[in-house]
Chain A
């Protein structure tokens, strides 16, 4: 049975601003769903609507088949982890985790068993008597998760839980969250603006743009077949190179001197794209396209070459190439690049939607 169903969910604020026009989403039991998008895209609003902290203007929200639109957060049987952890500063770690259970009137002995079990799972046994201010950021994060887990809710909600941690801890906690979620098998809705976090955590990703779900699918599906230029640019780092061009009579007019045969697309104005990692460097005379090198970022394991491509309309478009290993092309000089056709992504210029080859 589907755990969490969003049916035609929308949000319009009192001042008439429509944050979310309409979203449909069906989440299966135990699934890890990540809502991802740039700031202001409505992802946090959506999460808060599921939590019950924000009213729902239209549509139905179903948790395990029950419509919960007008239920209080506590009655929805959800648990939420906040970005700034929102731990009660005057309570010990134990009391923080036990508070929700206490409010539900569970017997003391049972609360103790549950809190201790969760504390053990998260490695918090030693810290149970401490106050939140005596903990490090990572420990606070863990307590916040513990507080959510203790209640054994139907749905976990995470609101950018890792953005206050430093980079190293973030990676560590990311892995840990994923492991815990697998172990507990609790349906999870997770909000982030970080696409790496989104890719690594999600069973399925929802890319939001201005309140619309641009695409829903597994991370790999979104990476390999982005449905629009928005998704194409949002998923993957560095983001996909996009160049507006035209296809005429089966020929793609890419650069000034670059015409590539592409019989599988019909005649159209298109947005042509390729991911930086799918581009190869070749001698200029064999190249599909020439790239004016502007900057080189050597990261050790890989090298990013930033440059620009001149189109037939005499405009310059930025273009990034990602190569493994160490390369040192001359800055200011042109290099030849090859763009294999199976790695192309072609989008409609007007609708920005993906165009599939014939």
Chain B
């Protein structure tokens, strides 16, 4: 909409600025809180400006107190392995299943499509008990496979690729056939490069999805060695005597927020391109 009304422009900006404030305030509070001593939150008012404990807090969370090494690095690594595992696993499976559904004629192709479609209705939260049972029976509790595998199976990415593949003109497929490209060559030489931007967009979405997983890691891991960063925030809140160290919680929260932010900022251009226009 192109209009030239000064008051409207002013109003639009006001709405946007308010929106930014609403979203940014909690983040700001988290940053500020991570620089205060542990009891600053308990005394009744929330500080809105930096305190003097920034270095001590961050040092304690990242490196650990004397005699007690921090688990932070370990948990960050776990989170990263889980997020990347889910992301690449999903992309690989979705690419293959979408390829099969769009380009191959096989019996029960329609049925396969609808079964995949059906899984949209069954996210992990819904099937969490049976899924836990399966994972437990397979002896996958407390393992990276157990963390990632149940989250990899999903239909959303398959659908995105299906739409992307269906927009590829039939002549292109035929030209490749005449050029002597078999199914595997066609997939790697033509389909994959052509869906590059879609893959990038999906990478962003899935990485954040994987990174933010909370419920599933909470249930499937009981060993410290497999705890993830997002889980740890919750665990810091449930201390026995109610003396919550808010400053450290906020440091962990901020740490947990950084990787998704980096991914979004780093892949912003590809992300938009992948969702908006296809290079065809």
Q: Which residues of A contact B (CB under 8 A)?
A: 51-53, 72-74, 78-80, 82-84, 86-91, 99-100, 103-104, 133, 147
Query: Quick one: which of B171, B189, B196, B280 contacts A99, CB cutoff 8 A?
Result: B189
Question: Which residues of B from 226 to 280 have beta carbons under 8 Å from A?
Answer: 279-280
With A and B bound together, what is the CA distance between A262 and B9 in angstroms?
85
* Interchain nearest-CB distance for A196 vs B (Å): 24
Q: Mark B146-181, 1 if CB is under 8 A from A, else 0.
A: 000000000000000000000001011011111111
Q: Is the CB of A86 within 8 A of B279?
A: no
Is B193 part of the contact surface with A, judged by Cβ < 8 Å? Answer: yes
With A and B bound together, what is the CA distance between A83 and B174 in angstroms?
12
Pairs across A and B, CB under 8 Å, 21 listed:
A51-B174, A52-B178, A53-B177, A73-B174, A73-B177, A74-B177, A78-B178, A79-B178, A80-B178, A83-B171, A84-B171, A86-B171, A86-B172, A86-B175, A87-B175, A90-B194, A99-B179, A99-B189, A100-B178, A100-B179, A103-B181
With A and B bound together, what is the CA distance between A72 and B178 in angstroms?
8
Q: How many A-B residue pairs have CB under 8 A?
A: 62
B169 contact set on A, CB distance < 8 A: 84, 86
With A and B bound together, what is the CA distance between A51 and B193 in angstroms?
26
A87 contact set on B, CB distance < 8 A: 175
Q: Which of A83, A90, A91 has the most CB of B within 10 A?
A: A90
Once A103-B181, A103-B185 are accepted as A-B contacts, the answer to whether A90 and B175 lie under 8 Å apart by CB is no
Q: Is the CB of A99 within 8 A of B178?
A: no
A91 contact set on B, CB distance < 8 A: 193
* Interchain nearest-CB distance for B246 vs A (Å): 51
With A and B bound together, what is the CA distance between A91 and B176 in angstroms?
13
Q: Is the CB of B171 within 8 A of A72?
A: no
Q: Is the CB of B171 within 8 A of A88?
A: no
Query: Quick one: which of B174, B189, B196 contacts A82, CB cutoff 8 A?
Result: B174
* Interchain nearest-CB distance for A257 vs B (Å): 57
Q: Mark B16-58, 1 if CB is under 8 A from A, else 0.
A: 0000000000000000000000000000000000000000000
Is B190 part of the contact surface with A, judged by Cβ < 8 Å? Answer: yes
Q: Is the CB of B171 within 8 A of A90?
A: no
* Interchain nearest-CB distance for B144 vs A (Å): 34
Q: Which of B178, B185, B194 has the most CB of A within 10 A?
A: B178
With A and B bound together, what is the CA distance between A91 and B174 in angstroms?
16
Query: Quick one: which of A86, A88, A89 contacts B174, CB cutoff 8 A?
Result: A86
Q: Is the CB of A90 within 8 A of B180?
A: no
With A and B bound together, what is the CA distance between A321 and B162 in angstroms?
56
* Interchain nearest-CB distance for B7 vs A (Å): 42
* Interchain nearest-CB distance for B168 vs A (Å): 9
Once A82-B174, A82-B175, A103-B185 are accepted as A-B contacts, the answer to whether A89 and B194 lie under 8 Å apart by CB is yes
With A and B bound together, what is the CA distance between A194 and B138 in angstroms?
66
* Interchain nearest-CB distance for A52 vs B (Å): 8
Question: Which residues of B from 190 to 237 have beta carbons under 8 Å from A?
Answer: 190, 193-194, 196
Q: Is the CB of B180 within 8 A of A74?
A: yes
Query: Whose C-beta in chain A lies nearest to the C-beta of B185?
Result: A103
Once A83-B171, A90-B194 are accepted as A-B contacts, the answer to whether A74 and B189 lie under 8 Å apart by CB is no
With A and B bound together, what is the CA distance between A84 and B169 in angstroms?
9
B279 contact set on A, CB distance < 8 A: 89-90, 133
Once A74-B180, A88-B190 are accepted as A-B contacts, the answer to whether A80 and B175 lie under 8 Å apart by CB is yes
* Interchain nearest-CB distance for A283 vs B (Å): 57
* Interchain nearest-CB distance for B34 vs A (Å): 45
With A and B bound together, what is the CA distance between A52 and B179 in angstroms?
12
Q: Is the CB of B174 within 8 A of A100?
A: no
Query: Whose C-beta in chain A lies nearest to the C-beta of B174?
Result: A53
Q: Which of B177, B179, B194, B280 has the most CB of A within 10 A?
A: B179
* Interchain nearest-CB distance for A159 vs B (Å): 8
Q: Is the CB of A82 within 8 A of B177?
A: no
With A and B bound together, what is the CA distance between A147 and B180 in angstroms?
13
Q: Is the CB of B180 within 8 A of A104?
A: yes
Query: Whose C-beta in chain B lies nearest to the C-beta of A75?
Result: B180
